[in-house]
Amino acid sequence: MQLTSLLGDADALFNVTELSGSLGLIATVILTINMVLGMMLSTSFKKTNWGIKLPAKIKAVDVNNLHNYTAYVALFFVFAHVLLIPFDAANKFTFLDILWPVNAPHQSNIVLLGTFSLLALLTVIITTQKGVKRKLGYGLWKKIHLISYLTCILFVVHGLLMDPELKDRPTDWVDAEKLLSEICGFVLLLAFFLRYKYYIYSTRNN
């Protein structure tokens, strides 16, 4: 059976583009949670005043494992989001357009942001593997791990500006899906601000 026939059959069963967009949105939410968990770990939140007051069941949660787990789950949803796009023949996307979207048929610059965010996420996850992390050394690993900040920003911006139906329409800022991305963006900006405040505080008191 030819690829075009397979693409047509897949699109007939369900809206591939819509499903891809939904998976991308789920990935955005999970990445946001992952980023917040990472910043909680970096501030040793369990030793802070508010961390000490948390219920015992919450304090018993292994945040480090949850942080790692959400990274892998997010990566799964990102890959699913990306790999589904070429299966909608109407979009005229190829797998090459995903890997190198300079000549992508729709919003190539915005697609490029998504590609960069995927590469950044892969870089962070690969360098966090115990063997790789050990060879890099903590200092270099920490610098590379800061890419995660860029990953979230790129992914949120990509989600906000990309037309979910791939019809090159301008962003509808009050659309429910866009509102969810906006909330994720706000949460991240707030988390970045609080993390920076903690950095300033800890620097002055050490």
pLDDT at 8 over 70: no
pLDDT of residue 206: 65
pLDDT at 69 over 90: yes
Task: Name which residue leads in pLDDT, 111 or 43.
Answer: 111
Q: Cβ atoms within 10 A of the Cβ of 137, count?
A: 9
118-127 per-position pLDDT tens digit:
999 999 999 9
pLDDT of residue 10: 47
pLDDT of residue 37: 92
Contact 70, 37 (CB under 8 A): yes
Q: What's 57's DSSP letter?
A: H
- Average pLDDT for 38-54: 79
Give the DSSP H or E segment for 119.
helix 108-128
- Average pLDDT for 51-72: 85
pLDDT at 21 over 50: yes
Among 83, 60, 79, residue whose Cα is nearest residue 71: 79
Q: Percentage of the chain with pLDDT > 90? A: 53
pLDDT at 6 over 80: no
pLDDT of residue 182: 96
Q: Which amino acid is at 105?
A: P
Which residue bears the tokens 């190539």? 108
The residues spanned by each domain of the chain are 3-204
Query: How far from 155 is each of 64, 67, 115, 121, CA to CA, in Å?
Result: 23, 18, 9, 10
